[in-house]
Structure 1
Amino acid sequence: MSCDKVDASLLQEYLESTIDPLEKIFIGNHLKICKECRRELSELKLLLYDLDDKSNYIIEYPPELETMRDDIIDSFLGKRKSPSKRIIEMQVETIKTTGKFIEFLPGSKQAPKVLKQASKGLKKGVKKLIAK
């Protein structure tokens, strides 16, 4: 874009209707006289349309993928386990990973206390389910 009066981000905001009302009036009037900005806005509209078109993102998975996934999970866990036990173990790992992630968030000094309390209750529940 070679127009010096309007920034490309303003055109993007104008297209997405997230622009301030005063800037919207300015851009609207500018588009009436600037051919380059109208062309840029048209290109942005086409790009947005292409990105919103979900048919571009349809992915067909091979039918054996589910079997492969189960085999990989089984080999990772070391043996064949019942589906409910596998799900519980995956959830426990997810909670552990979440705890590590939370350490980087503001207020994370409070998080370990809360996670410890939650994990105690979770461990008791998991032990009961695994014992069955």
Structure 2
Amino acid sequence: MSCDKIDASLLQDYLDNTIDPLEKIFVQNHLKICDKCRRELSELKLLLYDLDDKNNYIIDYPPELETMRDDIIDSFLGKRKSPSKKIIEMQVETIKTTGKFIEHLPGAKQAPKLLKLASKGLKKGVKQGVQKLVAK
């Protein structure tokens, strides 16, 4: 702006309504006669309007971004497993812990063959379940 009477910061304060009452009167009277300052004020209003418009900030993300994000997370945390595989692993761990608990029950030492047979059948069933999940 090439006007020597009004500073650009004074126009900004006038627009923000943070100006002293006496300065406000001065700026209003000056705007009535100065085309350059009116034009500057209009440009400031447009800039403020553009900054306040939230539609300017909506960004369409490419669909590959989600895959890229997952790859980056995988590289830092290691390979992630699908939730169904995690559930199966938790169940297998629970069964192992239950087997250890059963070993300490009275009478469990008399029936180790039954426990081994049950354990083998369970492992076979879990293995088949995992194979079906991986095949999907």
TM-score, reference length from structure 2: 0.53
Q: Which amino acid aligns with 1:30?
A: H
Residue of structure 1 in register with 2:29 after alignment: 29
- Is residue 11 of structure 1 aligned with residue 11 of structure 2? yes
In structure 2, distance between residues paired with 1:66 and 1:74: 12
**After TM superposition, what 4+ stretches of structure 1 lie above 4 angstroms from structure 2?**
none
Query: What secondary structure sits across from 2:42 in the alignment?
Result: helix
Contact kept? 1:12, 1:44, Cα under 8 Å: yes
Matching residue of 2:78: 78
Gaps of 5+ in 2: 84-136
> In structure 1, what is the equivalent of residue 58 of structure 2?
58
Counterpart of 1:62 in structure 2: which amino acid? P
Matches of 1:54 and 1:22, distance apart in 2: 34
- Specify the SS of the correspondent of 1:74: helix
Paired letter, 1:77: L
Q: Is the 8 A contact 1:31 1:37 kept in 2?
A: yes
Q: How many residues align structurally?
A: 83
Give, as a single letter, the amino acid of the residue that structure 1 aligns with 2:78. Answer: G
Distance 2:31 2:55 in 1: 32
8 A contact 1:74–1:81 mirrored in 2? no
| Residues 81 and 20 of structure 1, relative CA distance in 2, 3 Å threshold | farther
| More divergent stretch after superposition (29-38 vs 61-70) | 61-70
Letter aligned with residue 57 of structure 1: Y
Report the residue type matching 2:24 in the other structure.
Answer: K
How far, CA to CA, are the matches of 2:25 and 2:82 in structure 1?
63
Q: What is the Cα deviation at residue 81 of structure 1?
A: 7.2
Match status 1:68 vs 2:68: yes
Instruction: State the AA in 2 paired with 1:13.
Output: D
Q: Bigger radius of gyration, 1 or 2?
A: 2
Which structure's relative contact order is higher, taking Cα pairs within 8 Å and 6+ residues apart? Answer: 2
Q: Matched residue of 2:27: which SS?
A: helix
The 10-residue stretch of structure 1 (2-11 or 69-78) with the greater mean CA deviation from structure 2: 69-78
Gaps of 5+ in 1: 84-132
RMSD between aligned alpha carbons?
2.2
